Amino acid sequence: MNHGNFTEGKIFLPLLEFALPVLLALFLQSLYGAVDLLVVGQFATSADVSAVATGSQIMFTVTNVVASLAMGTTVLIGQQMGAGHHEDAGRTMGTSIVFFTVLALILGAAMVAGTKPIAHIMNAPDEAFDMTCDYMRICSFGMVFIVGYNLIGSLFRGLGNSKLPLLTVAIAAVINIFGDLFCVCVLHMGAAGAAAATVASQAFSLLISYLLIRRMELPFPFSKKQLRWNGDLIKRVTGLGFPIALSDFLVGLSFLVIVAIVNVLGVTASAGVGVAEKVCGFIMLVPSAFGQSMAAFAAQNYGAGKLERARKGLLYGLAVSWGIGAIMAYLSFFHGDLLCGIFAREPDVIAAGWQYLKAYGIDCLLTPIFFNLAGYFNGCGRTRFVMAENLIGGIGIRLPVSYLMSKVRPVSLFRIGLATPMASFVQNVLCVVYFVMLEKQQKRVQGVQS
């Protein structure tokens, strides 16, 4: 397997070559998450759709927090590789595996115990309440597999290898598709079947990935001796990853609150927003892929002291992401009914989903900017700023605006959805201002050194 060195040679093609497997991995990740809703939407009831929509949003938030915390591993390994400290990167990998295994066990137990209270907080509709609990409970029992599956991606992206994470997602996606069809269509398990298929697919993917890794040649010596609890390294990983995890948690929390607000409006609105969120997972793929890739690219060049090269990579990422974002904006706003119709068959659910998706059409023009800038800042170790701008956007803008819009009569899912692009606009302003300030600071430092 090739481990990318981003500190030398051309910029655009290596960045694109790295981003494409990340994009495909995110696509497959969205696909197998969407397959749950697709199969349930076609072969089960609206209550099952609502349960999967609510339950999957909760589990996505939890697992995304863990994956974001693991970004600390991506950044630290990337910086160590860029600086040529390969043995340190090996120790970071071993410590991260131990730390995230312990975290997964604790988190899984907590989620199993808190299933019903969480469903109550989310205002899960009465018809879908038990199904929502079943979905979350089954996923929580498989938390070790879910966390391990996400950790592999973070470890190898830090090494400049985006192909192994793509392979793990591809394996999980294929298994999940067949699992959904069997559990939902054959066994008629509804939302619970979708959850069981998700956990099983990630467990098999993790096992196969482990067998593949054992046969790989890593860029540093790695053995069982490095699988140890190293407090100093854990502090460094969490120091980098915690601000990212907290910021993503706050973003996820703001979306969960929107789901809770919409759930009060009934099963149709709940299912419609759930469908729109799944569509959104696809239309935001390119900026998400470049945001993740930018973190690895910037981390290696920052570690090597090549800041100008990191900035050029950022400009390429912005250009490609925004171009694709404009196309997605058009499709979402003017043809959202066709997109939502992929995941639902009931006209009322499709109409509700399109109404909400129109707001995301506007957001498609905004997210490419701060996604790429946030990835750049994360790679440079400026994770606290990313946490701050997500806090302002998610809690300061998205939450209050969505709540206020839900009180305007008649209630409109489009107006509720507008909270997202409004938050993105504010985050763009903050990121651009911070980038300019950072540029001036770095020029002053370079002037003093010269």
Task: Tell me: pLDDT of 78 over 80.
Answer: no
Distance separating the N- and C-terminal Cα atoms of the chain: 40
Task: Tell me: pLDDT of 10 over 80.
Answer: yes
Contacts of 275 (CB under 8 A, 6+ apart): 37, 41, 49, 53, 340, 343, 344, 349, 350, 352, 353
Contacts of 247 (CB under 8 A, 6+ apart): 68, 386, 387, 388, 389, 390, 391, 394
Task: Tell me: pLDDT of 65 over 80.
Answer: yes
pLDDT at 360: 92
**Helices within 364-418 (DSSP H only):** 367-379, 383-391, 399-406, 413-417
pLDDT at 450: 54
Hey, where are the domains in the chain? 12-445
Q: pLDDT tens digits for 314-354? A: 999 999 999 999 999 999 999 989 999 888 778 898 999 99
Contacts of 73 (CB under 8 A, 6+ apart): 92, 93, 96, 151, 154, 155, 158, 237, 241
Q: pLDDT tens digits for 370-425? A: 999 999 998 888 878 988 898 899 889 988 998 899 888 888 899 999 999 999 99
Task: Tell me: pLDDT of 3 over 60.
Answer: no
Task: Tell me: pLDDT of 70 over 60.
Answer: yes
Q: pLDDT tens digits for 199-228? A: 998 898 888 878 877 777 776 667 777 788
Taking the C-alpha atoms of residue 87 and residue 104, their distance in angstroms, rounded to an integer, is 26
Kindly indicate the confidence band of residue 1, based on its pLDDT and cuts at 50, 70 and 90. Answer: very low
**What mean pLDDT is predicted for residues 107-128?**
90
Hey, what are 190's tokens? 């509804």
Whether the link from the prior residue into 221 is cis, omega within 30° of 0, is: no
Backbone dihedral angles phi then psi of residue 125, each to the nearest 5 degrees: -55, 145
Kindly indicate the confidence band of residue 2, based on its pLDDT and cuts at 50, 70 and 90. Answer: very low
Q: How many other C-beta atoms can be found within 10 angstroms of the C-beta atom of residue 13?
A: 10
CB 369 within 8 A of CB 318: yes
Taking the C-alpha atoms of residue 77 and residue 92, their distance in angstroms, rounded to an integer, is 7
- Chain-centroid distance of CA 409 in Å reads 33
Taking the C-alpha atoms of residue 180 and residue 196, their distance in angstroms, rounded to an integer, is 8
Which three-class secondary structure state does DSSP give residue 58? Answer: helix
pLDDT mean across residues, the chain: 85
Backbone dihedral angles phi then psi of residue 72, each to the nearest 5 degrees: -60, -35
**What mean pLDDT is predicted for residues 12-20?**
84
Look-up: residue for tokens 């981390």?
299
Q: How many other C-beta atoms can be found within 10 angstroms of the C-beta atom of residue 12?
A: 14
